[in-house]
Amino acid sequence: MSWVVRAPQGALERSERKLYSRVRRVLWDYEPLRASHAEIYIDIEGDHVLLRGRVRTQPQKIIATALVERMSDVGSITNELIADPDVVRAVADALAQDERTAAYILRVDARHGLVILRGEVPSEDVQIAAVEIATSVPVVVGVRSQLTIGGDPRPAVALARPSMTMDEPDPVSASAVPA
């Protein structure tokens, strides 16, 4: 796979073509982005730039925005790039919230939206469930399973997302402190 920048879908006016070329050049000149084989779609509407596609890291996503924002002829930018850590987190959250897979330690890796699942599960049913769950996550392009079957089944459990924020005191520890 090589670094790819996709042209806008619609026809561009002369000033928009010029802006597209400049944005493309600025992103191309950023070596870590080019070396990671990112796939980026650049859409231009007037002086507004929309970045879509996939990058390897969250810093690449942030830096892409910063590079384009610094350009004098860019009025505004919308960054809809998806970084691989976002994909990993979304899949890991989905697996942790499903009672069929929550009890197992599954490693989730992603590269440009392609997810690789690794780990040990007790049965083919759990293996199939893990792949189905990962595939159903909207930011996932595809799933490769490197899950192995073995080990003992664990009781079904689903982990709820934490509802408590960092600023809220833990009700258990707060009640244990004498007044």
What are the structural domains, with CATH classification, of the chain? 4-82 (3.30.70), 85-149 (3.30.1340.30)
pLDDT of residue 12: 76
Q: What per-residue confidence (pLDDT) applies to 170?
A: 52
CA–CA separation, 126 and 101 (whole Å)? 7
Over the chain (179 residues), what is each successive 10-residue block's mean pLDDT?
Answer: 58 85 92 89 92 94 95 94 97 95 95 96 96 97 96 68 53 47
The pLDDT value given to residue 127:
97
Residue 97 CB burial class (10 angstroms; 0-12, 13-18, ≥19): middle
Return the bridge partners of 55, or none: 83
> What pLDDT, on the 0 to 100 scale, is given for residue 1?
41
Containing 127, the helix (H) or strand (E) segment is helix 124-136
- Write down the pLDDT at residue 167: 56
Please give the Cα distance from 62 to 57 (Å, whole number): 9
| pLDDT confidence of residue 13 | 82
Q: Which residue has the tokens 């790819």?
A: 4
Spatial distance between the Cα atoms of 60 and 171, rounded to a whole number of angstroms: 39
How high is the pLDDT of residue 147? 96
Residues 6+ positions from 168 with CB-CB distance below 8 Å: none
Question: Which residue bears the tokens 């070396």?
Answer: 35
Which tokens in the block code for residue 151? 């080990």
CA 140 to CA 150: how far, in whole Å? Answer: 26
Question: For the CA atoms of the chain, what is the radius of gyration?
Answer: 22
Helix then strand count (H, E) for the chain reads 6, 7
CA angle 134, 139, 143 (to 5 degrees): 35
